[in-house]
């Protein structure tokens, strides 16, 4: 596997039905030609991803997106005008050109125009839709650098385009516009308030399932997802107030008398966008430290933290589960 900023060879590989990892503003994607069942099958193999979990089709602009949906509501136009290119995925009834493997047999497709110059160059050079999940092994921590992709996928990806660290750091918001009620299936880089400012009230798909094994409307909504290898636990700090100089903690606990002897304490940024940008990379670093457990303090239960709290929740179990084991 090589790394390169050579977009033309990447587009050529996609045309040959091979896999190309590429940067987006959210996380790195593992791309394949969304019109080729054979190419898309390679994504599922490389990730070890269940065939039931649909992929997002990435396109260069709104006109390309319209080619791959059979309906295009006014709301999609308004959202695309404001948020594309950007971290918003819009789910609409799919056009036949998108192969069934992309949508896991569903009749809808998630469409997104990513906001990264290399991704856009690649999509223009390729000229078609690129199916791409995050470029990690299924259920592992998402990659925000080219090195993370190499660590995750090794030689199972033919080329990694290196566009530096991702700016947003967590995945796109997935918004379903295929039914009468617009519904956020996954919180992400665009907030509910931002969406509602453009199209009015939306509903939000239920919070993490209590039963961690039950699949939901959007398979990214499995309760445990994005998880490190080290057992990881979350806790609320209800009295915490965000005052100047106050940080949000992400803590890794060493082996030994864990409760008394903290191994590493990483202070995390108190601005949600900055926290999000660094979250997966820090989690990966701590995961590699060979600690017994990772404890993560949840940021405040406020609108600007919804997406970060979602990712923390899916990467961890409640702290009570850890006490039960000591």
Residue of 109, 159, 232, 250 that binds ligand TXA (CB under 6 A):
109
Distance CA 279, CA 269 (A): 9
Site for Mg ion in 112-141 (CB under 5 A): 134
Contact with ligand TXA (CB under 6 A) among 7, 10, 99, 108: 108
Query: Mask of contacts with ligand TXA, 139-168, x by CB under 6 A?
Result: ------------------------------
Site string for ligand TXA, 193-222 (x = CB under 6 A): -------------------------xxx--
**Torsion, CA 142, CA 8, CA 104, CA 220, rounded to 10:** 20
* Closest approach of ligand TXA to the CB of residue 281, in Å: 15
What mask of x and - would describe binding to ligand TXA in positions 123 to 142, judged by CB under 6 A? ---------xxx--------
Report yes or no: 136 and 47 within 8 Å, Cβ to Cβ: yes
Supply 91's token pair.
């789910």
For residue 187, state whether it binds ligand TXA (rule: CB under 6 A).
Answer: no
Quote the least distance from Cβ 202 to ligand TXA, whole Å. Answer: 15
- Return d(Cα 242, Cα 58) in angstroms, integer: 37
Find the binder of ligand TXA among 21, 62, 123, 174 (CB under 6 A).
Answer: 174
- Angle, CA of 283, 284 and 285, to the nearest 5°: 90
Residue 112 interacting with ligand TXA (CB under 6 A): yes
The binder of ligand TXA chosen from 4, 9, 53, 247 (CB under 6 A): 53
Beta carbon nearer to Mg ion, 126 or 226: 226
In whole angstroms, the minimum distance from the beta carbon of 84 to ligand TXA comes to 12
Piece of 2-10, 21-29, 192-200, 301-309 that binds ligand TXA (CB under 6 A): 21-29
Give me 54's structure tokens. 């649909």
Burial of 90 (0-12, 13-18, 19+ CB in 10 A): buried
Residues binding ligand TXA: number (CB under 6 A): 29
Shortest Å, Cβ 57 to ligand TXA: 8
**Residue 27 binds which entry of Mg ion, ligand TXA, none, with Cβ cut-offs from 5 to 8 Å by kind?**
ligand TXA
| Residue 323: how many other CB atoms lie within 10 Å | 10
Q: Output the smallest distance, CB 41 to ligand TXA, in A.
A: 15
| Distances in whole angstroms, Cα of residue 167 to Cα of each of 87, 161, 229, 278, 313 | 11, 16, 24, 9, 21
Contacts of 48 (CB under 8 A, 6+ apart): 137, 138
26 near Mg ion (CB under 5 A) = no
Of 166, 156, 141, 189, give the one whose Cα is nearest residue 314: 141
Would you give the binding string for ligand TXA spanning residues 73-92, x where CB under 6 A is met? Answer: --------------x-x-x-
Interacting residues toward ligand TXA by CB under 6 A: 24, 26-27, 29, 53-56, 87, 89, 91, 103, 106, 108-110, 112, 114, 132-134, 171-172, 174, 185-186, 218-220
């Amino acid at each position: 596997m090589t790394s390169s900023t050579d977009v033309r060879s990447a587009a050529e590989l996609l045309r040959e039905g091979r896999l190309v990892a590429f940067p987006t503003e959210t996380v790195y994607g593992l791309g394949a030609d969304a019109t080729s069942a054979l190419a898309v099958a390679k994504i599922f193999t490389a990730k070890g991803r269940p065939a039931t979990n649909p992929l997002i089709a990435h396109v260069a602009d709104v006109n390309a997106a319209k080619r791959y949906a059979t309906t295009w509501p006014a709301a999609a136009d308004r959202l695309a005008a404001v948020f594309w290119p950007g971290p918003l995925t819009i789910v609409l009834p799919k056009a036949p050109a998108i192969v069934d493997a992309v949508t896991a047999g569903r009749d809808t497709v998630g469409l997104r125009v990513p906001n990264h110059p290399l991704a856009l160059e690649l999509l223009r050079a390729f000229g078609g839709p690129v199916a791409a999940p995050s470029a990690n092994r299924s259920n592992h921590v998402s990659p925000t650098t080219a090195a993370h992709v190499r660590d995750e996928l090794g030689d199972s990806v033919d080329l990694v385009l290196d566009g530096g660290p991702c700016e947003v750091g967590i995945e796109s918001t997935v918004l379903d516009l295929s039914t009468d009620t617009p519904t956020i299936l996954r919180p992400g880089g665009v907030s509910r308030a931002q969406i509602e400012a453009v199209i009015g009230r939306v509903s939000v798909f239920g919070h993490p399932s209590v039963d961690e094994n039950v699949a939901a409307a959007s398979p990214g909504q499995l309760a445990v997802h994005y998880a490190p290898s080290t057992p990881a636990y979350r806790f609320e700090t209800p009295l915490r107030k965000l005052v100047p100089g106050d940080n949000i903690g992400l803590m890794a606990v060493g082996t030994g008398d864990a409760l008394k002897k903290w191994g590493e304490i990483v202070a995390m940024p108190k601005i949600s966008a900055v926290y999000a940008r660094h979250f997966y990379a820090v989690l990966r670093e701590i995961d590699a430290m060979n600690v017994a457990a990772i404890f993560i303090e949840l940021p405040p239960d406020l609108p600007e933290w919804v997406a970060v709290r979602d990712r923390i929740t899916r990467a961890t179990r409640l702290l009570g589960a850890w006490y039960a084991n000591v």
